């Protein structure tokens, strides 16, 4: 007999920026209290491997195996494979560490053998001793494409190969019409204690999940308050190309615009102390906190703050 | 305009044992004078990679990149991938080094993109600066299966995973009926200066090539003398399970039996000095040489000896 799953928090996250708060929340919540739903729009196939960058970042972060110096990939990594691949004329723009490669090989093999991405993710999490539940936003492929002045680019080509240099004109989530939200996410929402949108990129890390068929409806039907933490602080992005994208899309680079972006989805918004002046201007319940996370303590404290804020919001039903 | 290919020696080899003489011959012959045809019956798919152990051994040997301490794999190898794979519960019986993995990835990717194994092999050889021509025995899959008292085993399961412990009752080359000999091998034979069967395992390294449809006929029609070097010396095998297999198949473990095995194919046979007593008993032209190759000099000298012997044999036509 399985233990019935209690009412959980749903934590929506992308890669590095979001994983910081996700880690803090994992320190605040028991494994039975949280479900981490991760963007897979960044996923791609490379050299025959099925690579899920955001899932990997969260997994390495929760396992305390992430490389804290460079901010991506696995700690204690070596690069013999890449070195030898270069000698063979292979592509070197996407760095695959020797140890990281074992994860991609394991996932690729499981998918080829018919497992779902959720099953592969669960196996990897178990192997690394992660007790919290981590799921992809969908088991179906969704591929974020970036429309730019240089033409259409797959997300990793834009993000890694071209270092976000091309000017963005829009986004497209290929395959999303046919993608089904990961079933546990929908089940969680039916009886959730709260939904947290981590400070990830709204356009490419959170929108793929929000735009899955039925997801906005499920969020609106859920009794759980939905809270987002602004990834924009003091007019810039803590991590990644969010601010650059907003400028190129002619959106003012403010936390306010992030709140507008999530209009209809969120019931509460967390601003950084640097943006306290916006507090009165937003048309959503707002909380001001120290959101810049440098230390683990910062992550845990913001996690606690977010949970306190969400619990202070009235249940929607 | 391509330079017309001159009359070449065809060198038939398996893995480690045969690659020693192949290296010696590569030192004696210009790139335009040799074609190396390699057993692919040992090939297998593992963790999603297309692995060709005998091709890899020859390639690393010719590139002077082979690991001379352990006798297989690549030199200056590291094992971070295997270590991480073990943590993920992956199979560890077949050791894939971090640098070696770049070769398997490159080949697998090329095959998945529609290249032939010959094309992938040529790309890898070029990348490693190998100027001699190396080809698989066929671009079609042939999979050696070992029948044993423990049942039917794929070759790598028998050879690596089970360390040749199961008792052999026979061999089967799955897919061989539909496999076409690599075209350059047949072209080479039409106008060859000689064929050398390296001291590889007759049953599992040489027979797959000899048993390809049309191959024995092509060898018999070729003007080139065919010479084999005995892998059995003094009643035992220098390398690998040849002697153990012969015992289990109730074949006396002698060089004479190897010559019998190649009856109808060879025109000359090279015995080791330790087996000089067999010189008069064989029904094929025989030459006695020092065939145990320890140093590079040993390899080159045996190569020279084999070429002198083959040139001393009358052309068949």
Number of structural domains (chain A) is 1
**Contact A89/B123, CB-based, under 8 Å?**
yes
State the average pLDDT for chain A: 95
pLDDT digits (tens, 9 = 90+) for B164-174: 999 999 999 99
pLDDT at A315: 66
**Has residue A171 been placed in a domain?**
no
Q: What is the pLDDT of residues A14-25, one digit of tens each?
A: 998 999 999 999
Q: Is residue A254 part of a domain?
A: yes
The CATH number given to whatever domain includes residue B295 is: 3.40.50.10680
Whether the CB of B92 is below 8 Å from some CB of chain A: the reply is no
CA angle A202, A208, A209 (to 5 degrees): 95
Distance from CA of B139 to the nearest CA of A (A): 20
Domain membership of residue B127 (yes or no) is: yes
Chain A positions in Cβ-Cβ contact with residue B108 (cut-off 8 Å): 48
Is residue B231 predicted with pLDDT exceeding 90? Answer: yes
- Asked whether residue A195 carries a pLDDT value surpassing 50, the answer given is yes
In a domain, B152, yes or no: no
B227 found inside a domain: yes
Strand pairing of B236-237 and B232-233?
Answer: antiparallel
Residues A95-112: tens digit of each pLDDT:
999 999 999 999 999 999
Beta-sheet pairing, A285-289 with B9-13 = unpaired
pLDDT in tens, A243-260: 999 999 999 999 999 999
Residues of chain B with Cβ-Cβ distance to A89 below 8 Å are 106, 123, 127
The model's pLDDT over A32-87, given as tens digits with 9 standing for 90+, comes to: 999 999 999 999 999 999 999 999 999 999 999 999 888 889 999 999 999 999 99
pLDDT at res. B3:
47
A81 vs B contacts (CB less than 8 Å): 81, 98-99, 101-102, 105
pTM, rounded to two decimals: 0.92
Mean pLDDT of B173-202: 97
Residue A234 belongs to what domain range?
9-141+176-312
For residue B74, give how far its alpha carbon lies from the nearest alpha carbon of chain A (Å): 11
Q: Cα distance from B137 to chain A (closest Cα, Å)?
A: 23
Residue A133 confidence (pLDDT) above 60? yes
How many angstroms away from the CA of B84 is the closest CA of chain A? 5
Q: Indicate whether B99 pLDDT > 90.
A: yes
Q: What are the phi and psi torsion angles at B141 (to 5°)?
A: -70, 130
**Angle at CA B12, nearest 5°, toward B9 and B15?**
135
- Round to the nearest angstrom and report the end-to-end CA distance of chain A: 31
Residue at B217 is within a domain? yes
Backbone angles phi, psi at B176, to 5 degrees: -65, -30
A317: in domain: no
Structure tokens that stand for A199 in this block: 């400070």
Position A261 confidence tier, pLDDT thresholds 50, 70, 90: very high
Q: Cβ A88–B47 below 8 Å, yes or no?
A: no
pLDDT of residue A200: 96
Write the burial class of residue B151 (CB in 10 Å: 0-12 exposed, 13-18 middle, 19+ buried). exposed
- B207 and B171 in contact (C-beta within 8 Å)? yes
Instruction: Give CA B166 to chain center in angstroms.
Output: 22
Backbone phi, psi, residue B51, to 5°: -110, 130
Chain-chain contact of B81 with A88 (C-beta, under 8 angstroms):
no
Chain centre distance of CA B139: 15
Please tell me the predicted confidence (pLDDT) of residue B315: 66
Residue B240: band (very low, low, confident or very high) from pLDDT cuts 50, 70, 90: confident
* Residue B4 scores a pLDDT above 60: no
Q: Is the ipTM of this complex over 0.95?
A: no
More confident position, A299 or B72:
A299
Does residue A224 form part of some domain?
A: yes
On whether any CB of chain B is under 8 Å from the CB of A207, the answer is no
Calculate what percentage of chain A has a pLDDT beyond 70: 97
Mean pLDDT of B220-243: 92
Sheet strands (E) in chain B: 9-13, 34-38, 44-46, 49-51, 133-136, 143-148, 151-154, 168-174, 194-197, 226-229, 232-233, 236-237, 268-272, 285-289
A317 pLDDT band, cuts 50/70/90, is low
Mean pLDDT of A270-277: 95
- R_g over Cα of chain B: 19
Interval A278-286 mean pLDDT: 91
pLDDT of A223 > 60? The answer is yes
Which pLDDT score, from 0 to 100, does residue A316 have? 62
Mean pLDDT for B263-280 is 94
pLDDT at A174 over 70: yes
pLDDT at B275 over 90: yes
Amino acid A1: pLDDT: 43
Query: How do residues B35-90 score in pLDDT, each as one tens digit?
Result: 999 999 999 999 999 999 999 999 999 999 999 888 889 999 999 999 999 999 99
User: How much is the pLDDT for B70?
Assistant: 84
What average pLDDT score do residues A164-172 get?
Answer: 97
């Amino acid at each position: 007999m399985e233990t019935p799953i209690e009412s959980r928090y749903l934590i929506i996250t992308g890669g590095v920026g979001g994983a910081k708060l996700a880690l803090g929340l994992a320190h605040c919540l028991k494994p039975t209290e949280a479900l981490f739903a991760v963007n897979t729009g960044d996923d791609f196939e490379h050299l025959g491997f099925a690579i899920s960058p955001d899932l990997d970042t969260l997994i390495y972060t929760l396992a305390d195996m992430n490389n804290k110096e460079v901010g991506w990939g696995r700690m204690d990594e070596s690069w013999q494979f890449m070195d030898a691949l270069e000698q063979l004329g292979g592509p070197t723009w996407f760095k695959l560490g020797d140890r990281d490669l074992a994860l991609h090989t394991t996932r690729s093999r499981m998918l080829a053998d018919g497992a779902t991405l959720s099953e592969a993710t669960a196996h990897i999490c178990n192997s690394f001793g992660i007790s919290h539940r981590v799921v992809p936003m969908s088991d179906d492929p969704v591929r974020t494409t970036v429309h730019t002045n240089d033409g259409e680019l797959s997300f990793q080509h834009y993000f890694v190969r071209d270092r976000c240099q091309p000017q963005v004109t829009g986004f497209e989530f290929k395959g999303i019409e046919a993608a089904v939200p990961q079933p546990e996410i929908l089940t969680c929402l039916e009886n959730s204690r709260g939904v947290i949108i981590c400070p990830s990129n709204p356009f490419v890390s959170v929108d793929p999940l929000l735009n899955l068929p039925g997801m906005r409806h499920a969020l609106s039907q859920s009794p759980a308050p939905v809270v987002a933490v602004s990834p924009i602080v003091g007019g810039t992005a803590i991590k990644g190309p969010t601010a650059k994208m907003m400028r190129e899309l002619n959106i003012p680079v403010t936390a306010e615009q992030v709140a507008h972006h999530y209009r209809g989805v969120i019931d509460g918004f967390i601003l950084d102390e640097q943006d306290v002046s916006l507090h009165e201007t937003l048309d959503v319940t707002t909380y001001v906190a120290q959101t810049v996370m440098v230390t683990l303590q910062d992550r845990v404290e913001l996690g606690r703050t977010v949970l306190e804020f969400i619990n202070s919001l009235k249940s929607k039903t």
